[in-house]
Chains A and B, each alone.
Chain A
Amino acid sequence: MNNNSKEPLFHIVKRGTLPWYKAWGIRLLAVVIALIVCAIVTMTVTGENPIQVYATMIDSSFGSERKVWILAQNTAMLLGVSLAVTPAFRMKFWNIGGEGQILAGCLAAAACMICLADTVPNGLLIVISAVASIIAGAIWGGIPAFFKAKWNTNETLFTLMMNYVATQLVAFFVIIWEVPKGAGQIGIINQSTQIGWLPQIGGNKYMLNVIIILVLTVAVYIYLNYSKHGYELSVVGESERTARYVGIKVEKVIIRTMLLSGAICGIVGFLLVSGTDHTLSTSLSGGRGFTAVMISWLAKFNPIIMIFASMLLAFLDKGASAISTNFGLNHSFSDILTGIILFFIIGCEFFISYKLSFRKSAGKEAAENV
């Protein structure tokens, strides 16, 4: 029967739930394949030895204690923003305004450090700037939420626009506060007095940031999974009609969740300004507000998995710039490698939910024909 040749080579079949070890096996396999593909691409395009390229990547993040701390800091900041956008995404509220909310927090912290430097005691100043950052971030997140709740505006566009507004506001204040006049930048705020700077603990610049973010991770995890608020926002995200049906006030939940989302971004902004960078510029958020969206989805909104997802992205980012400098490669090339790796990691989720069922008779028939 040559009719059989019309049967498709394979068709897609939905899987039942995979046991966790198989699912992670598939993910691990995806990473291995991604590395192999990257190696082939590296060799054919640049002629470099892929093993050396990988070694450089690993060295750039784990080569020394300082490098490890920088990785930890980058991971923590990414993780912080991811934690911030996650409640919104669980609610199916597309908060792509992380950038703006971080900048709002940065701006508030810098403003406190500059304007209140000599008027209040240092300890109080730190508290004030922390609170101001949180409020600023919350306002930045709350405005689109308010419009969404009242008039059902599109939150994706709204939060995106709020990013530009925040960037322009920061640019404006950078000019006002620029040091020296005409420099177009602020430089290190209170460099000599270190007023408003977060104290260092353990003799390390990044330790406090990392600890704060880890505490925040646990808090967000508990909030999302065990609190009444967390339950309400999940219900709203899954089905607004169900939420109304059981008497959840959807508008209130949307605004409350976005205030929280913005507030956590504000904390990240505060940590960036008071904790590590001690300056203000439009590039301070560094695209984290967008990367965080990917991390949040990659981790399926689970704060604990987000730790690893953030670390992966921080590592890839660092490694990418290291190989572009060390091998004299274009920075775009390292972006290609990052892209390949992410493609495989995200793509493998398909094989966790579905499997390909190949034509059974194909092999047998071929054998018979021989």
Chain B
Amino acid sequence: MDNKNAAVKMRNISKSFGTVKANDKIWLDIYRGEILALLGENGSGKTTLMNMLSGIYFPDEGEIFIDDKEVVIRSPKDALNLGIGMIHQHFKLVDVLTATENIILGLEGKGKLDLKSAAKKIREICDAYGFDVDPDQHIYEMSVSQKQTVEIVKVLYRGADILILDEPTAVLTPQETDKLFAVLRNMRDAGKAIVIITHKMHEVEDLSDRVAVLRHGQFIGDMPTKDTNAQEMTNMMVGHAVELNIDRPDPVDPKPRVEVKNLTVRSIDGIVKLDDVSFTANSGEILGIAGISGCGQKELLEAIAGLQPTESGSISYIKDDGSREELLGKDPLSIADLGVVLSFVPEDRLGMGLVANMDLGDNMMLRSFRKGKSVFTDRKSPRKLAENVVDELDVVTPGISTPVRRLSGGNVQKVLVGREIASAPTVLLTAYAVRGLDINSSYTIYDLINRQKQKGVAVIYVGEDLDVLLELCDRILVLCGGKVSGIVPGRGAKKREVGMMMTKLGGEKADE
């Protein structure tokens, strides 16, 4: 059936977790000299399939052929011996070691450890494909994109010629993404087989040669990228036609709601995380916050929510009648006692927003359990709220007694957002609300946020996908190294411009 030989053929691959069939008789071919984009919604089995190829899981059924020879992959080591290397979403590097030390870590070699020749070999790999890595640099000094590069070089060093990248661009700026893509194209041209898992359609169109679509653990189809378009691919992933434009209703009667003035925050180690940040968030408006990861977004939201010790400045909440309440230095409980209903969808959903091991009902209770004078908790109303959220937001779950850790990423986020907006907030803070979510879930979340905006809520939306920020937000505040690089109107802003502001302070600060 193939006119050229596939590097990898996966045949009839099945894998179940408990009663969930993550992969159901999947056929997939991967060719050398080609970039394959593996598409699918959350829980459609992309990562599971790739984990079986890289030796992390063992398939329940099916065969894998590498260069037409049947192989059995029992461990990541087997996979590497076959030339398969996977770059995971979460980096697996030792911070205190250098790039070289990380790259050769775990390799068996005879005789003396020869870091010099290893570094030389690493430099050769870097030159060949255009990587920008200093082999002697320590990991803790590196940016996210540099760490990712180290991960890629690591698998290349081990002789991989089939590379799998699981959502590599989720943590990168547009400029870094361009750089990564250039390197990937170089590798393709050198005859390597590359598989990239991503949710971002424009990246698929930009980079890949062929796409393969999974849905609910089944293989739906594959085709050359040039013969298809974002709309068709999305429809295949979702199973029905989807509207791809993000709505941006006009702001509803915007009035200042939260005023942040000269806010400075230091981390426990004394590093300045936010430096003299000032801005105003209006009601009935979405204020987007853009920036490279780790440049103060998290601290900013947590400072407003009362979770982050601050050094100086002020955060005022402005009520409808114009009176002000100072939020700085208060904890979440005393902020709530002021009558300020502030909802916060944090970045770390299971580690902060929810309790992974508790069921939906108990998680709904997190916000409401203090209500009433009784020493006992009211379990009925949270369960009812959980049922409502499941119904209204189409949460896929066996029931409300299921621990949230068993839900897929999108459903976890729906539960969290559902709970946070159930308290009818006046301020809604969201951090990476759609990270790791598939298209359908993402649009549900955008829709929920838009509805809050139309209700007059002041929404602060920290995002990483600039395309989305530009389409969704009324104004965008760009952070760069903890400082305000500028505030631009969302309508008509240019992606390049915002990208530049993220990496270089692009505007004069107002109050200097």
Contact = CB atoms under 8 A, between A and B. Distances in A.
B481 interface: no
A73 interface: no
A249 B370 CA distance: 13
A242 B351 contact: yes
Nearest to B336: A247
A1 interface: yes
A29 to B, nearest CB: 21
Interface of A: 1, 3-4, 6-8, 11, 13-17, 226-229, 231-232, 234-235, 238-239, 241-242, 244-247, 249, 357
B322 to A, nearest CB: 27
Among B331, B346, B375, the most chain A Cβ lie within 10 Å of the Cβ of B375
B352 interface: yes
Nearest to B370: A228
The listed residue with most B CB atoms (<10 A of its CB), out of A15, A234, A238, is: A238
Interface of B: 16-20, 58, 60, 69-72, 74, 305, 307, 331-333, 336, 344, 346, 348, 351-358, 362, 365-367, 369-370, 374-377, 379
29 contacts: A3-B70, A3-B71, A4-B72, A6-B74, A7-B72, A8-B72, A13-B60, A14-B18, A226-B379, A227-B375, A228-B369, A228-B375, A228-B376, A228-B377, A229-B375, A231-B365, A238-B356, A238-B358, A239-B351, A242-B352, A242-B353, A242-B354, A242-B355, A245-B305, A245-B344, A245-B353, A247-B333, A247-B336, A249-B331
B18 A239 contact: no
A238 B17 CA distance: 24
Contacts, number: 83
B380 to A, nearest CB: 12
Nearest to A357: B60
A11 B346 CA distance: 37
B307 A244 contact: yes
A202 B379 CA distance: 40
Nearest to A17: B18
B352 A235 contact: no
Nearest to B15: A13
Contacts of A238: 355-358
Contact of A227 (B16, B74, B377): B377
Contact of A235 (B71, B346, B355): B355
Residue among B71, B351, B376 with most chain A CB within 10 A: B376
Contacts of B331: 247, 249
Contacts of B375: 227-229
Contacts of B362: 231
Contacts of A6: 72, 74
Contacts of A235: 355, 358, 366
Nearest to B350: A239
Contacts of A245: 305, 307, 332, 344, 346, 352-353
A4 B71 CA distance: 8
Contacts of B69: 3
Contacts of B74: 6-8
B17 A226 contact: no
B430 to A, nearest CB: 14
A218 to B, nearest CB: 14
A357 B346 CA distance: 39
A225 to B, nearest CB: 9
Given A242-B354, A245-B344, A16 B18 contact: yes
A13 B22 CA distance: 13
Contacts of A247: 331-333, 336
A77 to B, nearest CB: 28
Contacts of A246: 332, 366-367
Given A247-B331, A247-B336, A241 B377 contact: no
A227 B369 CA distance: 10
Contacts of A227: 375-377
A242 B362 CA distance: 13
A8 B362 CA distance: 41
A249 B346 CA distance: 19
A245 B331 CA distance: 9
A15 B307 CA distance: 38
B368 to A, nearest CB: 10
Nearest to B348: A241
A226 B60 contact: no
Contacts of A239: 351-352, 355-356
A56 B95 CA distance: 59
A242 B344 CA distance: 12
Among A4, A13, A239, A244, residue most surrounded by chain B Cβ atoms (within 10 Å): A239
A357 B375 CA distance: 48
Given A14-B17, A241-B348, A247-B332, A226 B355 contact: no
Contacts of B377: 226-228, 231
Contacts of A16: 17-20
B465 to A, nearest CB: 25
B75 to A, nearest CB: 10
Given A3-B72, A227-B377, A235-B355, 7 more contacts: A13-B16, A228-B369, A231-B365, A231-B377, A246-B367, A247-B331, A247-B336
A229 to B, nearest CB: 7
A221 B72 CA distance: 50
B462 to A, nearest CB: 16
A234 B362 CA distance: 10
Contacts of B351: 239, 241-242
A231 B72 CA distance: 48
A152 to B, nearest CB: 12
A319 to B, nearest CB: 36
Contacts of B70: 1, 3
**8 tightest CB-CB pairs across the interface, nearest first?**
A16-B18, A247-B333, A247-B332, A16-B19, A238-B355, A11-B58, A241-B352, A6-B72
Contact of B18 (A15, A229, A244, A249): A15
- Kindly name the residue among B333, B352, B354 whose own CB sees the greatest number of chain A CB atoms within 10 A: B352
A228 B379 CA distance: 11
A91 to B, nearest CB: 13
Contacts of A1: 70
Contacts of A8: 58, 72, 74
Contacts of B369: 228, 231-232
A238 B351 CA distance: 9
Nearest to B70: A3
Nearest to A232: B369
A241 to B, nearest CB: 5
A249 B307 CA distance: 12
Nearest to B19: A16
B73 to A, nearest CB: 10
Nearest to B368: A246
B417 to A, nearest CB: 15
A337 to B, nearest CB: 35
A246 B357 CA distance: 16
A289 B69 CA distance: 60
A3 B72 CA distance: 8
A6 B344 CA distance: 51
A241 B71 CA distance: 45
A64 to B, nearest CB: 43
A227 B379 CA distance: 10
Contacts of A13: 16, 60
